């Protein structure tokens, strides 16, 4: 399986809602000792979970063109779209909610659109990290904005839920 953590490269995006995927990757216990190498226009690592080897990717392209990185990894490893799990922020999901979705619509997420366009399929799974929808203002500014102090307090619990869901998916293979 290929697990893709979405985010934007650069320190200015480090703790933004759009980088929830990158943030989760950095908190996952079984990836703490993984060696990340530059590959596929991103950071790539291979790690074992319950004796099974999996591929992990953090595209270092911007979110809107993350499909370039994912398509390169899929082609190299000859992986089918159904063998891909994309970890991403989701404004259509309430803050603090983490869920798995298999295939389906892309909910206007430009990173998911880029991946679907370049791999030619929506049949990949998603681990959605809910960041909620802004009550007012621009969605782009909201997702590129940093988490509030109150939100940051509960992020470790959210990422723990995300790690548990990811393990469930990986253990079920």
Active site residues: 18
CA distances from 91 to 28, 31, 51, 163, 164 (A): 22, 26, 35, 20, 21
Integer Cα distance of 3 and 34 in angstroms: 14
Integer Cα distance of 36 and 58 in angstroms: 9
Q: Where do runs of H (alpha helix) occur along the chain?
A: 20-27, 67-77, 110-119, 139-143, 149-171
């Amino acid at each position: 399986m290929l697990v893709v953590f979405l985010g934007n490269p650069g320190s200015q995006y480090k703790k933004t809602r759009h980088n929830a995927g990158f943030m989760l990757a950095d908190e996952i216990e079984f990836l703490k000792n993984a060696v990340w190498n530059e590959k596929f226009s991103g950071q790539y690592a291979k790690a074992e979970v319950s004796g099974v080897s999996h591929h992990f990717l953090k595209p270092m392209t911007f979110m809107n063109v993350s499909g370039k990185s994912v398509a390169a990894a899929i082609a190299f490893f000859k992986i089918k779209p159904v063998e891909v799990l994309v970890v991403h922020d989701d404004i259509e999901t309430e803050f603090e909610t983490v869920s798995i979705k298999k295939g389906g619509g892309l909910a206007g997420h430009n990173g998911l659109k880029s991946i679907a366009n370049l791999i030619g399929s929506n049949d990949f799974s998603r681990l959605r990290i809910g960041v909620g929808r802004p009550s007012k203002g621009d969605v782009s500014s909201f997702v590129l904005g940093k988490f509030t102090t109150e939100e940051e307090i509960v992020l470790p619990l959210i990422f723990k839920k995300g790690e548990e869901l990811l393990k469930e998916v990986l253990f079920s293979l």
